[in-house]
């Protein structure tokens, strides 16, 4: 009789530990999901930009993004004190799209002059109307609650 009681106690203890472990894992996943939802409640508002002058007006803490509607790629670059982000809007600059591996060239549209000339991005794979550039509002810096 003692043998049956001891086995029953071990099974109960093992089952209790398994349930406790499962609840612990579930609660940690639920907490992580809540953090992800909280982060999504503060989306980054972006504005379409078309000129090099608009890119130069961005301040450290802003962000600039190049988006391709055909290959569904988004390249986001934080604006720093350097001027690397301006190359994204400088006529004649070239880079490679990470998604489609096409060669992307910044070309002037003929509207405006100098740094105020509107530009577009022509991809050897996706074409000349697939890409656009957007950025946070100039000087807005990092958004509240976003780190």
Output the pLDDT for position 111.
93
Task: Quote the CA–CA distance of 54 and 142 in Å, as a whole number.
Answer: 18
As to burial, measured by CB atoms within 10 angstroms (0-12 exposed, 13-18 middle, 19+ buried), residue 65 is middle
Q: Is the pTM of this model over 0.75?
A: no
As to burial, measured by CB atoms within 10 angstroms (0-12 exposed, 13-18 middle, 19+ buried), residue 52 is buried
Beta strands in 71-125 (DSSP E): 73-78, 94-96, 103-108, 119-123
Output the pLDDT for position 98.
85
Output the pLDDT for position 146.
45
Output the pLDDT for position 138.
61
Q: Taking the domains of the chain in order of start, what are their residue ranges?
A: 1-43, 47-135
Terminal CA-to-CA distance of the chain, rounded, Å?
Answer: 63
Nearest Cα to 42, choosing from 127, 132, 146? 146
Contact 29, 21 (CB under 8 A): no
Give the mean pLDDT per block of 10 residues along the chain (147 residues): 57 60 57 53 73 92 89 88 88 89 92 92 90 79 48
Q: Can you tell me whether residue 47 is helix, strand or coil? A: strand
């Amino acid at each position: 009789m003692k043998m049956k009681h001891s086995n029953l106690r071990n099974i109960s203890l093992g089952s209790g530990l398994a349930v406790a472990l499962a609840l612990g894992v579930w609660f940690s996943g639920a907490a992580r999901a809540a953090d992800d939802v909280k982060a999504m409640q503060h989306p980054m508002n972006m504005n379409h930009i078309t000129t090099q002058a608009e890119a130069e007006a961005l301040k450290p803490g802003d962000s600039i993004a190049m988006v391709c509607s055909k290959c569904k790629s988004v390249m986001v670059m934080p604006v720093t004190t350097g001027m690397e982000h301006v190359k994204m809007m400088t006529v004649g600059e070239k880079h490679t799209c990470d998604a489609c591996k096409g060669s992307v060239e910044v070309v002037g549209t003929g509207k405006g002059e100098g740094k105020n000339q509107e530009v577009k991005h022509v991809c050897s794979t996706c074409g000349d109307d697939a890409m656009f550039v957007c950025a946070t509002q100039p000087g807005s810096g990092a958004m509240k609650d976003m780190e």
